[in-house]
Structure 1
């Protein structure tokens, strides 16, 4: 039986892909979609080095390989440049979120996880000071309105840096203060740079997914898969089992139980190997709420391809994020 688009995604996004022929995979549909979803570098590595071709057509391998080569070079350039910028910063606490935090902690090679931008989280009182520091290192504020709820967006012409604050909402300052207190140092970037603790990282990914209405690259679900699994391919800060009791308590305190339930449910559908770990981590929601989220979000978001925007999606986002 020919692999479906979902089968192809699962195989080529795995860190330990099963061997077999992908000759009949839907390459015409997969390649462009995988590139758009940020999945091409990992897929290319699997095809070239883990599955020796897997009978994939040469044109597909060539396109994916070109993206992989570019991703490696681009990531190294961006992260080295960011390190040089941050090395001198002292007396502040800057948390790194998203791809810049995950590329070296969840993925066996930094090139597997494209880093399109660098997401930072600071205390509200540090937004202007940190932005001013970045401006001294040739990162200039962009004229357009910052995207994705960021307070600021600066760029040196190559790397956008998003500066976030109050990501949990103005009424949950105590909870955000604890996120900073639990954060783990990223010493390679200097004394002021940190990354969130594991359970906080899971919830922050779920929060981002919910705020984007699950209209975001599927690479985010690969991130969440590895966080749920405890980064078994690595030996770093996220390489441990989730503390489910802590995760559920923080989700309740942050009012993210619906978002956590939705994001974990999507991950379990996409990656069956996570199901046994996801089940105990699902917050206890009312049956009617579970069925609504399953129908409106989980099922559509688990189908390869662009999830269509739903009527009332802004209301749904508020429901998911407790706003």
Structure 2
């Protein structure tokens, strides 16, 4: 039987792809979709260096490989630029989230995970001060076109930096303070740069999924897969088993139990090998709630190539983020 789009995705998004032929995979559909979903760099590397081409068409490999080359160069430029900007900054506690944190911590090669922008969690009192500091490095305020919820967006024309404050809302500042208290230093970027602890990073990623109504690139589900399974391909701050009790306790305090259930259920469908880790991490919900989330979010989002917007997306966002 010819590999489906989902089969092809699973093979080419693996850090240890199974050997075999992908000659009859749906390449016309997969290539454009994978590029749009941020999956092309990892797929290109797997095809070229792990699977000896897997009988894939040359045109598909060429297109994916060009994206991989560009991703490597772009990531290095953005991360080196970030280091140069913050390396000597002292007296702050700034948390790097999202792609910039993931590219080096959970992916075997920095080029596998495109870094389109840099997301940082800062204390509300540091928004103006750090924005002013960035302005000395040619960063200017920009409109938040993606409706990310960031307190400030700045760009130097090459890299956008999103500054988030009160990430859980003004009523849960104590929980946000806990994120800062548990954060781990990222010394290579200087004394002011930190990364959220593993359980906090999982929940911050889940929060992003929910706020975007699960209209996120599928690469984000690869991020979550690696966080939930302990980033076993690496030896980083995220390479350890999840503290399941702490994860569930924080999800309840952050009012993210529904979103955590939803995101975990999606990665279980996409990556069956995560079933044991997902089952242990999934928060307890009423059966009716589980069935509703499965029908309205998990099932439609888990279909590759779907371009539809979830019905009642705004209402779902409020439901999933406890608003």
TM, length-normalised to structure 1 = 0.99
Between the aligned partners of 2:144 and 2:202, the Cα distance in structure 1 is: 30
| Residues 302-317 of structure 1 mapped to structure 2, 5 A cutoff | 302-317=302-317
Query: Does the Cα contact within 8 Å between 2:144 and 2:150 map onto a contact in 1?
Result: no
Between the aligned partners of 2:17 and 2:116, the Cα distance in structure 1 is: 25
Local SS of the residue matching 1:103? helix
Cα displacement string for residues 93-122 of structure 1 (whole angstroms, at most 9, x for unaligned residues): 110010000001100000000000000110
**How many residues were matched structurally?**
323
State the match for 2:74 in structure 1.
74
Between the aligned partners of 1:207 and 1:311, the Cα distance in structure 2 is: 19
State the match for 1:244 in structure 2.
244
State the match for 2:208 in structure 1.
208
Q: Note the C-alpha offset of 1:174.
A: 0.5
Local SS of the residue matching 2:105? coil
Q: Note the C-alpha offset of 1:307.
A: 4.4
The question of 1:198 aligning with 2:198 is answered yes
Local SS of the residue matching 1:67? helix
Instruction: Give unpaired runs (5+ residues) of structure 2.
Output: none
| Residues 255-270 of structure 1 mapped to structure 2, 5 A cutoff | 255-270=255-270
Cα displacement string for residues 115-155 of structure 1 (whole angstroms, at most 9, x for unaligned residues): 00000110111100010010011111125667311111111
Q: Note the C-alpha offset of 1:280.
A: 1.7
The question of 1:148 aligning with 2:152 is answered no
| Residues 79-94 of structure 1 mapped to structure 2, 5 A cutoff | 79-94=79-94
Q: Note the C-alpha offset of 1:273.
A: 0.5
Local SS of the residue matching 2:108? coil
Between the aligned partners of 1:206 and 1:143, the Cα distance in structure 2 is: 24
The 1:319/1:90 distance shift into structure 2, 3 A limit, reads same
Between the aligned partners of 1:52 and 1:236, the Cα distance in structure 2 is: 29
State the match for 1:99 in structure 2.
99
Between the aligned partners of 1:270 and 1:82, the Cα distance in structure 2 is: 33
TM, length-normalised to structure 2 = 0.99
Between the aligned partners of 1:161 and 1:144, the Cα distance in structure 2 is: 11
| Residues 1-323 of structure 1 mapped to structure 2, 5 A cutoff | 1-143=1-143, 147-323=147-323
- The range that moved more, 308-317 or 179-188, is 308-317
Query: Does the Cα contact within 8 Å between 1:146 and 1:152 map onto a contact in 2?
Result: no
Local SS of the residue matching 1:138? coil
Between the aligned partners of 1:120 and 1:144, the Cα distance in structure 2 is: 14
Query: Does the Cα contact within 8 Å between 2:94 and 2:121 map onto a contact in 1?
Result: yes
Between the aligned partners of 2:144 and 2:314, the Cα distance in structure 1 is: 22
Q: Note the C-alpha offset of 1:276.
A: 0.7
Q: Note the C-alpha offset of 1:306.
A: 3.4
Q: Note the C-alpha offset of 1:160.
A: 0.4
The 1:221/1:258 distance shift into structure 2, 3 A limit, reads same
Query: Does the Cα contact within 8 Å between 2:75 and 2:114 map onto a contact in 1?
Result: yes
Local SS of the residue matching 2:268? helix
The 1:309/1:20 distance shift into structure 2, 3 A limit, reads same
Query: Does the Cα contact within 8 Å between 2:213 and 2:310 map onto a contact in 1?
Result: no
Instruction: Give unpaired runs (5+ residues) of structure 1.
Output: none
Between the aligned partners of 1:299 and 1:146, the Cα distance in structure 2 is: 25
Local SS of the residue matching 2:171? coil
Between the aligned partners of 1:143 and 1:99, the Cα distance in structure 2 is: 20
